[in-house]
């Protein structure tokens, strides 16, 4: 379960809701919400949302930290980050800074160290087929090892920016072992990081997410 969530039936298009536009609430799948809960951000922390996209997890992290953390929302897509910034404004959040950059570039304008890093990595997306059934026609078996290699590169890049005693949250919206448990076990083996928690969510209650702290 997600402690700050409610499920509403028969709402129709959320975008038509005045209370949504007023920033009283937002929409996020239960699986994605569990990532923020696992991260457990705190006020005063410097936080990196490493593949922020449209900012769903960035804004959740900000809310959980009472808008008192310093959150860098990084992504390669300026368009997505524009939507993330708009979401933050709608929700009245001021603790999020958007950064358009490549995480694999050593010169990326990021802080040297973060207390908490959330990497919701690019993945095969098999866990969200119920909402994106067209993905079945785009994916091949070769995509999983290709994406796992990218995830490994991203993990190594962000680990280099993890402060001593800091926490890394890794998540993917898929259920393959190569992109989930095997990826995390390999990271622990080569870096000395210790896996302290792992979670999965499954349909019909949520998308199929894997996350580890």
Active site (annotated) includes residue 123: no
d(CA 166, CA 29): 26
Q: How many CA atoms lie within 13 A of 206 on its CB side?
A: 23
d(CA 27, CA 34): 14
Q: Name the active-site residue from 51, 101, 123, 173.
A: 173
Q: Name the residue with tokens 């304008």.
A: 109
* Residues with a known catalytic role: 173
């Amino acid at each position: 379960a997600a402690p700050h969530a409610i499920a509403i039936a028969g709402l129709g298009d959320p975008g038509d809701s005045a209370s949504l536009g007023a920033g009283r609430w937002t929409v996020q799948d239960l699986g994605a919400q569990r990532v923020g809960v696992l991260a457990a951000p705190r006020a005063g922390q410097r936080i990196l949302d490493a593949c922020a996209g449209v900012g769903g997890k960035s804004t959740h992290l900000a809310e959980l930290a009472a808008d008192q953390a310093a959150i860098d929302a990084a992504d390669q897509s300026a368009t997505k980050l524009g939507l993330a910034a708009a979401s933050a404004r709608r929700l009245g959040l001021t603790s999020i800074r958007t950064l358009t950059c490549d995480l694999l570039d050593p010169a990326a304008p990021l802080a040297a160290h973060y207390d908490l890093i959330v990497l919701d990595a690019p993945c095969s997306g098999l866990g969200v087929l119920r909402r994106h059934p067209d993905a079945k026609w785009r994916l091949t078996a070769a995509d999983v090892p290709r994406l796992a290699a990218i995830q490994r590169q991203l993990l190594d890049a962000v680990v280099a920016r993890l402060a001593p005693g800091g926490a890394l949250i890794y998540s993917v919206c898929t259920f393959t072992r190569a992109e989930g448990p095997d990826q995390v076990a390999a990271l622990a083996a080569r870096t000395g990081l210790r896996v302290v928690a792992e979670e999965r969510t499954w349909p019909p209650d949520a998308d199929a997410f894997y996350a580890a702290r």
